[in-house]
Structure 1
Amino acid sequence: MRILSRLALLALLIVPVATWAAPPDEGLWLPLLLKQLNEADMQQKGLRLTAEQIYSVNQGSLKDAVVQFGGGCTGEIISDQGLLLTNHHCGYGQIQSHSSVEQDYLTKGYWAMQRAEELPNPGLTATFIVRMEDVTAQILVGVPTTGITEFDRERLVQTNIQRVAQAAVQGTHYQSFIRPFFNGNEYYLFVTEVFTDIRLVGAPPSAIGKFGGDTDNWAWPRHTGDFSLFRIYAGPDNRPAPYSAANQPFKPRHHLPISLSGIKPGDFTLVLGFPGRTNEYLTSWGVAETYSVSNPAKVKVREAKLRLLAADMQASDQVRIQYAAKYAGIANYWKKWIGETRGLKKLDAVARKQEQEARFTQWVQSGDDARKAGYGPLLAGFEQNYRTGRDYTLARDYVTEAVLGVELLAYANSLAHLPELIAQKRPAAEVAAAADKAKKGRVGFFKNYSAPTDQKVAAALLALYAGGTPPALVPDYVKALQQQYPGPAGWTKYAAQLFRRSRLTTAAGAAAVLDELAQGNARALTDDPAYQLATAVISHYRAIILPVYTSTTDNIALLSRTYLAGLRQMQTDRKFYPDANLTLRVSYGQVAGYQPADGVQYDYYTTLDGLMEKADPTNPDFEVPARLAELYQAKDYGPYAVNGTVPVAFIATNHTTGGNSGSPVINGRGELIGVNFDRNWEGTMSDIMYDPDRVRNITLDVRYLLFVVDKYAGAGHLVKEMTLVGSPNQPAAPEVKKMKVKRKVRA
């Protein structure tokens, strides 16, 4: 029986629901729309601010204390001198870049005791949102609604986006971008102010900032001091400026006061940040593909890579420092995908999506001819495109995760444009300039590269690629290698030969290749076996896999836009929120424990006592710095203690995802109470399906943060520039705080 037929049958058994509200605390809401969609509900749950005090264009508001940190995290401003707080794992790459075996800031931590010691970070940015605007009408002008392919539609949309975005910031120092919402049914403009002089101020040792390591990642209870401190510097006009010793600390329009009053169950919590990606409106076929096809393949590849990296990192301090940030990034989503798959299965997510599709079918069939014509074919179209694209999605995952997971092959592929320039007979100066740019990138690559480690990774990942890719989609070049190097040890033998023959495994060898390319000798690269394998796989991918993958995903995108428009038309009483797309969002919830399994009940907070109970000097994930143990034994907690210990972390029901790392967690009075750094493992499926009973965001309590900065690090000068309110024994007053009005911003 076809799935669509089963849906039609199920529709007959379902009573229509007039109102379908989002579950409690679900949603990643646009700050611009809080007044009309969320303000009343938020205030009923404990917010003592207005929507205007969260998002405003013409006066300082909470949004003016929140930045996108780098390309994938969030940070918040916690002093009037541009002090920026984010997660330790968000600043990890910068901490690692300043580290060496001799100056191991990853292990020992780093604290600037004066401004001159704050370390610059080339390439790091902090991006403020100046304003946002619904520009849907401007973007869709001249774009047909029917009779156009997704590719052609996107071409017209991108032309309009470029025109509108440029006009929005013409004559200003601001930048802008426009993103689609609700699968392209709406478009919003974001005007930004981007600062580039961002300096490292402080970071705890990894034994605090990563306490629990991969063992505790995506888990609760948690005892991780996951924070780092930076500072934004600006030019003399308080505007963005390139790094200069003459730059001064940035003066923000608003900075977050920090509450010492603590939290209790039921307290209102607000998260502001830049969540990266969710897929809340996936169909049943999309959910099934995620947890039965894509996630298992990616988990298998990353699991193999992590095992090999861990062994070499444990054996060598140099490799440990080189791969610390890489390992953390790989491990993060590896464990997340495992939890997501389990969560979706536990929720019976496919069946629940099928129930929604059955309601949709019933709604379509009960409508007029226009409704039937517009929405009737959608579900059959989804089924067909997911079935057609299934093997191609799997093949794509193996290329991106396994083949390009080998650093040598990824590096070789990054140079592929140079022989192409030579083959096109581009001017010698153009080729030389491109080669020179590649030389600059080479330095950073080899600083954090171990060829012996990568060779082990190559042997394991190429075997998984060749064995996991659907046979019809394996390139002939790879099939020939399988015949040439047969048996269980075949890929190990091939990897040894590959790394022995390639000149791209060392900085000196790569430099020589690039010098020859600059002189117009394309064979310097095209004769290299790493380049030959990389280009064989990638050219096959582009010719055979990508066209079908792109076609089916384009079709699914078009169907999804129409389907979501239909859902919104069907459920007029429902408040819809757009999927995350790295734009500023608000989520709100309440402090709460949860019950992950039968007979198991988790409390809403953890303490330093619990951290010390986990201490294990034989396990690197649970080592405790001597200084922290001394403070614990002496009970020397300063003003940050509650009931004879220090609160470390707490959980709440806020809807968060990747990109919310480092987001401020704010109480109902607009005061910082913590820093968001993770989700519980049982709730990682919230990127696709939110469950109020199990989804929890994990937050570092600001009192532990202050304790580490002040008592552990002796950096009390940083605490002095913050605005502290309330105390453990004297809660802050509940009235609405007025935020200082600043000059108007050009709209």
Structure 2
Amino acid sequence: MKKLILFLSILTITRTFADEGMWLPHLISKNMEELHKLGCELTAEDIYSINHSSLKDAVVNFGNFCTGEIISSDGLLLTNHHCGFSSVQSHSSVEKDYISNGFWAMNKSEELPNAGLTVAFLVRVEEVTSYYFNNGVLIDNIDSVSTALQNNAVRGTHYTAEVKPFFERNSFYLFVNETYKDVRLVGAPPSSIGKFGGDTDNWMWPRHTGDFCLFRVYAGADGKPADYSPNNIPLKPRHYLPISLQGLKQNDFSMVMGFSGNTDRYLNSQGILLAYNQSNPTKIKIREKKLQLIAEEMKKDPAVRIQYVSKYARVSNYYKYFIGQNKGLKTLGVAQRKQEDEQAFYQWVNADAGRKEKYGYLKEGYESVYTVYEKINTPYVYFEECFFGIDVFMEAYKATNALSSFTASGDAAAVKRYKASADKYYKDFNAATEKKVFIALLEMYRDNVPVDMQSSLFPMIAKKYKNNIAKYADAAFAKSIFTDQDRMNAFLAAPQASVLEKDLVYTAMQTTLEEFRAKLGPYLGEVYQQLDNLNHLYLQAYLEWKKSELHYPDANFSMRLTYGSMKDYNAKDAVHYLHQTHLNGIIEKGDSLNDEFIVPKKLQQLYAAKDFGNYTDSTGSVPVCFISNNDITGGNSGSPVINGKGELVGCAFDGNWEAMSGDLVFEPQLQRCISVDVRYILFIVDKYAGAGYLLKEMDLR
């Protein structure tokens, strides 16, 4: 066992590309020689320490879906506009359209609370791999061991803990966190700045998007996490990031710290081909239809636009991502490169009798499991995207536990909790829009999934409604408690199981879910179990094969550090992209007839007057966005881009189109991290919003 742990530890001291890798900060001491060569002036203790404040104390898990950073001694937090967008949307109305006009608190009393929004600080990390192996073999009771370790780690504290597996369960780390629950909106630019370029520019470079939001973290009087209260005080952080006004130039050192979401860099060629041939095309097809229908309704009514703008953005973001990923997989020949790597791997396995005995089954095992997976994957994707892409079904699904708990035992607290959830659901619910999506997605499911894998919902519709899903939708929306708030409120006043048993939406959701579990569930469960076992063994073998190289674990929404430099790139034949964009580029892109490229009048006036303050670079213009070769993925949105002195220079928000396959394989010549320049952020806060008072609490250098 000690040999296995030592082996995995050795794997973290060399690597292939100077700019590749999502590293665990608590192990960064092994990389410091390379960081220093690239221009980093910090020590490993400056980056991660449990003995004194360090960079990790300024980086937070924002809402369990993004990253944020603390930028003042009063708990001011910077993240992306698209990360804070749902909070902005939740406070918006036709009368107070913060989406279109932006929002700026001019003092702390004007900051807006956000129920349910949290930020979590990383307290410490501990390796616990030895608890999960017995004589080198992975134990079966992983969950119970994790629970015990987590409970022991936080006993007597207000902290939380989580054990995460790495390298396909070949190593394990315990993360202890401190979570704050009072997070208030301080400022957000209008969408014409925060989402400038819209879907057209999404995932693209050059970019001119002011993708940032400001929040503030509040604590109780004792400085510890507390529920929202007007008596709470701004958090006094262990560390906050100073801000550099000097920017970066070509080849300057940069690093990004944040909660990298998910990568599959060790996925084999069969998995890549499954995504390329089945999963991605299916998701693209379904999301395209859903986006079309929502967009049509949003254009008709300003109230619907406000209700659905955040939902639309969530669906659209990964719709374009799947398109780009498939383009990258094809253009860059990712599956073929993986196959060549696998061929060499199996040659290495077969060259030694001991290795062949231990790892020889892998090739046959993968071929066998993917033969089954390929038959059930498309129906599964249709189920996931169609049924759980219909909001009324999702709401019925969420209601199941709460309402069944009440009807079974009279748990009034469960109903109260669900009532709060339902109120939030109905705030952004439009029946006409939802019915169109409901009809279209059910029709797509019926027309594309083999009959023997479908729910009995469809034979019922065929018999009772003459196979007309629109007529079924009319009946469901006319009576369901999940399609009308008044009906829902009346039900919650006196919940009865008989009402749910007759509800067309609820019964359709329950029937479909139960039959999916019965028809596909066993096959999916077996496929996932076999893949877990194969991947565990494959990673063990792969790391042994490549033991002279450094291998970072796949992203799993744990804090990571990636380092590299500001860099141009050659996008395609005869196209070379520079690393920095400027305010004049916004004016050049501006188009008053295109909603995605409208430039706010005040921003035009500031540009015309050259009222740039001290936020310019050597060109005399305000820098807006830049690119670096830092290795990021989803979850890194909002991550700080930090220079060699530990100062904030930007806020990461996107990857680039030419390397959309980057979650599966790193592309060193093409892959870039797109960030909004901190000087543009300060320019907007100060000159555009008139909220310069916020700069007084920052450390500007």
TM > 0.5: yes
Residue 635 (structure 2) pairs with residue 659 (structure 1) = yes
Q: Could you tell me which residue of structure 2 aligns to residue 465 of structure 1? A: 445
1:344·1:689 contact (CA, 8 Å) conserved in 2? no
Match of 2:179 in 1: 194
Per-residue deviation, 1:360: 1.3
User: CA separation of 1:483/1:217 partners in 2, compared to 1, >3 Å: closer, same or farther?
Assistant: farther
| Correspondence 1:674 to 2:650 | yes
Find out whether 1:394 has 2:378 as its counterpart: yes
Q: Are 1:58 and 2:51 matched, yes or no?
A: yes
Q: Which of 12, 21, 27 matches 1:27?
A: 21
Aligned twin of 2:591: 616
Q: CA deviation at 1:501?
A: 3.8
Cα 1:20–1:191 change in 2 (3 A) is closer
1:283 aligns to 2:268 (yes or no): yes
SS at match of 2:549: coil
Query: Shift of the alpha carbon at 1:176?
Result: 1.0
1:278-303 deviation per Cα after TM superposition (whole angstroms, max 9, x unaligned): 10000111111111111111111111
Distance across 1 between alignment mates of 2:526 and 2:436: 36
- The answer to whether the aligner puts 1:514 opposite 2:492 as a matched pair is yes
**The one of 414, 430, 447 aligned to 2:427:** 447
Partner of 1:532: 507
CA deviation vs aligned residue, 1:140-181 (integer Å, no higher than 9, x gap) = 359954xx8xxxx2xx10100010111111122221111000
Per-residue deviation, residues 431-469 of structure 1 (Å, max 9, x unmatched)? x44333322221111011111000111111111111222
Aligned residues: 688
Structure 1 counterpart of 2:5: none
Q: Deviation of residue 671 (structure 1)?
A: 0.8
Going from structure 1 to structure 2, the CA distance change for 1:435 and 1:251 (only over 3 Å counts) comes to closer
Aligned in 2, Cα 1:632/1:658: closer, same or farther, shift over 3 Å?
Answer: same
How far apart, in 2, do the equivalents of 1:631 and 1:274 lie? 36
SS of equivalent residue, structure 1 residue 258: coil
Q: Secondary structure at the match of 2:51?
A: coil
1:544 paired residue number: 519
Using the alignment, how far apart are the partners of 2:524 and 2:466 within structure 1? 30
Cα separation, 2, equivalents of 1:485 and 1:249: 58
Aligned to 2:236: 251
Alpha-carbon shift at residue 138 of structure 1 (Å): 2.0
- For the Cα contact (< 8 Å) 1:23–1:691, is it kept in 2? no
- State the secondary structure of the residue aligned to 1:523: helix
- Contact 2:14–2:551 (8 Å) recurs in 1: no
What is aligned with 1:426?
A: 408
Which shows bigger deviation, 594-603 or 413-422?
A: 413-422
Distance 1:426 1:491, change over 3 A: closer
- In structure 1, C-alpha distance between the alignment counterparts of 2:312 and 2:480, rounded to whole Å: 25
Judge conservation of contact 1:73–1:660 (CA < 8 Å) in 2: yes
Name 2:296's counterpart in structure 1: 311
Matching residue within 369, 389, 392 for 1:385:
369
Residues 610/246 of structure 1: CA separation in 2 closer, same or farther (3 Å cut)? same
Q: Residue 107 of structure 1 corresponds to which residue in structure 2? A: 100
CA distance in 2, matches of 1:347, 1:207: 34
Give 1:415 deviation, angstroms: 2.8
Tell me the equivalent position of 1:373. 357
Partner of residue 688 from structure 2, selected from 680, 697, 712: 712
Partner of 2:482: 504
Aligned residue number for residue 392 of structure 2: 408
Partner of 2:160: 175
State the shift of 1:479 in Å: 3.8
> Is this contact kept in 1: 2:23–2:562, CA < 8 A?
yes
Equivalent of residue 476 in structure 1, options 444, 456, 474? 456
Q: Contact 2:403/2:415 (CA < 8 Å) preserved in 1?
A: no
Superposed CA offset, 1:660-686 (max 9, x none)? 000000111111110000111122211
State how far apart, in whole Å, the 2-side matches of 1:411 and 1:111 are: 33
Residue by residue over 1:692-747, the C-alpha shift from the partner in whole angstroms, topping out at 9 and shown as x without a partner, is 1111110000110010001101111111111111xxxxxxxxxxxxxxxxxxxxxx
Aligned to 1:162: 147
Q: TM-score, normalised by structure 2?
A: 0.95
The 8 Å contact of residues 110 and 202 in structure 1, kept in 2 or not, is answered as: yes
Deviations 1:546-566 (A, max 9, x none): 221121011101100110010
What is aligned with 2:565? 590
- TM-score normalised by length of structure 1: 0.89
Give 3-state SS (helix, strand or coil) of 1:107's partner: helix
Whether the aligned pair in 1 keeps the contact of 2:402 and 2:418 (CA below 8 Å) is no
The 1-side partners of 2:403 and 2:72 are apart by: 51
Inter-partner Cα distance in structure 2 for 1:550 and 1:595: 44
Residues 419 and 525 in structure 1, CA contact (< 8 A), matched pair in contact too: no
C-alpha distance in structure 2 between counterparts of 1:20 and 1:346, whole Å = 29
- Measured in 2, the distance between the counterparts of 1:515 and 1:524 equals 12
* 1-structure distance, mates of 2:175, 2:385: 32
Q: 2: CA distance between counterparts of 1:499 and 1:65?
A: 48
Contact 1:513-1:525 at 8 Å conserved across structures: no
CA distance in 2 between partners of 1:523 and 1:205 (Å): 47
Give the C-alpha shift of residue 249 in structure 1: 1.2
Q: For residues 287 and 486 of structure 1, do their structure 2 counterparts lie closer, same or farther at Cα, with a shift above 3 Å needed?
A: farther
Instruction: Report the equivalent of 2:191.
Output: 206
Distance 2:297 2:146 in 1: 47
CA–CA distance in structure 2, aligned partners of residues 234 and 678 of structure 1: 31
How far apart in 2 are the matches of 1:316 and 1:100? 12
Indicate the percent of aligned positions where both proteins have the same amino acid. 46
Residue 480 of structure 2 aligns with an amino acid whose one-letter code is S
Structure 2 residue 620 is the aligned partner of structure 1 residue 627: no
Shift of 1:107: 1.1
- 247-256 or 126-135, which deviates more: 247-256
Q: Give the match's secondary structure for 1:496.
A: helix
Which position in structure 2 is the counterpart of 1:730?
none
Greater Cα shift, 441-450 or 234-243: 234-243
SS of the equivalent of 2:151 reads: helix
CA-based RMSD of the aligned residues comes to 1.8
2:34 aligned to 17, 41, 48, which one?
Answer: 41
Per-residue CA deviations over 1:289-347 (Å, capped at 9, x if unaligned) read: 11111111111111111111111112111111111211111111111111111111112
Question: Does the aligned pair in 2 maintain the 1:391–1:470 contact within 8 Å?
Answer: no
- Does the residue aligned with 1:90 lie in a helix, a strand or coil? helix
* Structure 2 residue 126 is the aligned partner of structure 1 residue 133: yes
Question: What one-letter code is carried by the residue in structure 2 that aligns with 1:313?
Answer: M
Gaps of 5+ in 1: 1-18, 726-747
Amino acid at match of 2:155: Q
Matched-pair contact (CA < 8 Å) for 2:166–2:554: yes
**Is residue 555 of structure 1 aligned with residue 555 of structure 2?**
no
Q: Call closer, same or farther: CA 1:271–1:482 in 2, change over 3 Å.
A: farther
Identify unmatched segments of 5+ residues in structure 2: 1-12
Cα displacement string for residues 45-91 of structure 1 (whole angstroms, at most 9, x for unaligned residues): 11111222111111111111100111110000111111100001111
Q: What does residue 551 of structure 2 align with?
A: 576
2:254 corresponds in structure 1 to 269
| More divergent stretch after superposition (220-229 vs 493-502) | 493-502
Alignment check: 8 A CA contact 1:235 1:248 kept: yes
- The change in CA–CA distance for 1:707 and 1:418 in structure 2 (over 3 A counts) is closer
Between stretches 676-685 and 271-280, larger displacement belongs to 676-685
